[in-house]
Chains A and B, each alone.
Chain A
Amino acid sequence: MSKNISPVSEPHGGSYTTDVVIIGAGPVGLFAVFELGLLDLECHLVDILDRPGGQCAELYPEKPIYDIPGIPVVSGQELTDNLLQQIKPFAAKYSLGEMAVALQKTDDDLWQVKTDMGTSITAKAVVIAAGGGSFQPKKPPIPDIDDFEGSSVFYSVRQMEKFKDKDLLIAGGGDSALDWTLALLPLARSLTLVHRRPNFRAAPDSVSKIRALVDAGDMEMIVGQVSALQGQGGQLDQVKIKTKTGEVIRKIDCLLPFFGLTMKLGPVAEFGLNLHENLIPVDTEKFETSTPGIFAIGDINFYPGKLKLILSGFHEAALMSQQVFRICRPDEKLRFQYTTASTDLQKKLGVR
């Protein structure tokens, strides 16, 4: 399926109003847009990833899933693309590449979600579809690394200018490590790439470019692993690199480790909700948390008998939507309808 259904993200830092804000654009958050959309409720999704699909898109885009009812086999990416196609008529808004960091009640009894990019979304109800947590860069277990984060150690590049005329060390051997090496080299004073082995798992084109740059003496490549950091007041001075033949030291200003992503519950833990072993307990009628107006569906929730399956999350989305409708449209009557039979629903889906 074509990739052009990939949604466009709203500008960072804006203020938005909607019916329902959904934290997490994994398969379950996406399907929630569908169920809420059938009830004429507008949604705004937030995800730290720069594209929707959650675990399906990030952890196993190519792997086949066999237990989606009615679909004998579908890959993680295909399922994501299909869901995007399915919810397209509802024109949900997306804030991608943003982490929801705070959730508060407003004076007029609405909910406000704030992100790390300064975006604020006000809604009548909140659906937490945060799955296994937000995907965040893996942190190398190097002693004292915390002391340097944000000042000398960076897990992502938000402004390239920051690295101008600096001595940089990039650690890792995947596409992110190599892409950033190629992008930052022209700016940096010097650049050293440190990877545990001479081979890379990355686009062959980037690999050959890097090899040529190393051969030309434009950058250095060390086969090894960063083992210690030295510096003061958050400012790195030098790093130790363990190699097969011993330790080498490089004087650097900044370290950029790229070791892929891992899921961390993150700020959801600070939303003031009850937690049960990092999961959010809900009832099984409405999938509402102990805080009225806040719902939790998909892998993030907990109830007796819970199975972390996509199909369970889909069911939860349908039931959750009923209660969210009552909250958002207290004066309207909820009507049960089939998509096969209802001309009203078919109009919403744009098939009539």
Chain B
Amino acid sequence: MSEQKQIILHVTDQQGKVHELIALDGWRAMEVIRDYGLPVKAECGGACSCATCHVYVDDDWADKLIAPDEDEEDMLDEAFEVQENSRLSCQILMSEDLSGLRLKLAPGSEPDTTD
């Protein structure tokens, strides 16, 4: 029997609704969010070149993530309402250690709509 434990990812959408997602080991948080059909623009598909996958990391998790590298810090310059806990969700690799991670989709991450 496999002892693999499920990796849970909690995501609060731009409307404030909380979703519980099951992540796969090695997937980027952005990919999990997109795979569930939640509203994330993620225009560059994870290439760290658009900042439209901007999320806020729950305070309890801030220290458990690998710190952003220089590219990610640079790209965050193109995001809005950037805070201490801002990250690009395409740069967060999911793993068992991160099961339970809580993210909130930030302003500017919503997909384009025809209105």
Q: Which residues of A contact B (CB under 8 A)?
A: 59-60, 63, 132-133, 138, 140-141, 172-174, 195-197, 199-201, 225, 259-260, 262-265, 269, 275, 278
Contact = CB atoms under 8 A, between A and B. Distances in A.
B52 to A, nearest CB: 6
Given A174-B78, A225-B81, A138 B108 contact: yes
18 contacts: A60-B44, A60-B47, A138-B78, A138-B108, A140-B80, A141-B81, A172-B78, A173-B77, A174-B77, A174-B78, A196-B76, A196-B77, A196-B82, A197-B73, A199-B73, A259-B78, A260-B50, A262-B43
Contacts of A132: 43
A63 B79 CA distance: 21
Contacts of A259: 77-80
A262 B41 contact: yes
Nearest to B115: A269
B20 interface: no
Given A260-B78, A263-B112, A265-B114, 14 more contacts: A59-B50, A63-B47, A63-B49, A141-B107, A172-B78, A196-B76, A225-B80, A259-B78, A259-B79, A262-B41, A262-B50, A263-B43, A265-B112, A275-B114
Interface in B57-115: 73-74, 76-82, 107-108, 112-114
B77 A201 contact: yes
Contacts of A278: 112-114
B43 A59 contact: yes
Contact of A133 (B47, B77, B80, B112): B112
A269 B43 contact: no
Say which size band chain B's interface belongs to.
Answer: 20 to 34
Contacts, number: 60
Nearest to A58: B49
A201 B69 CA distance: 13
Contacts of B108: 138, 141
Most buried by A among B107, B108, B114: B114
Contact of B74 (A63, A133, A140, A201): A201
Contacts of B30: none
B51 interface: yes
A59 B51 contact: no
A253 to B, nearest CB: 22
Contacts of B52: 262
A195 B49 contact: no
B82 A225 contact: yes
Contacts of A264: 112
A275 B114 CA distance: 10
B19 to A, nearest CB: 21
- Residue in B47, B49, B51 whose Cβ sees the most chain A Cβ within 10 Å: B49
Contacts of B76: 196
B49 A60 contact: yes
A303 to B, nearest CB: 19
Given A138-B108, A278-B112, A59 B44 contact: yes
Nearest to A268: B114
Contacts of A138: 78, 80, 108
Nearest to B44: A59
Nearest to B51: A260
B80 A141 contact: yes
Contacts of B77: 172-174, 195-197, 200-201, 259
- Interchain residue pairs A-B with the least CB separation, the first 7: A201-B74, A260-B78, A141-B107, A173-B77, A269-B114, A259-B78, A59-B44
B104 to A, nearest CB: 14
B42 to A, nearest CB: 11
A138 B44 CA distance: 14
A195 B76 CA distance: 11
A302 B73 CA distance: 35
Interface in B31-63: 41, 43-44, 47, 49-52
Nearest to B74: A201
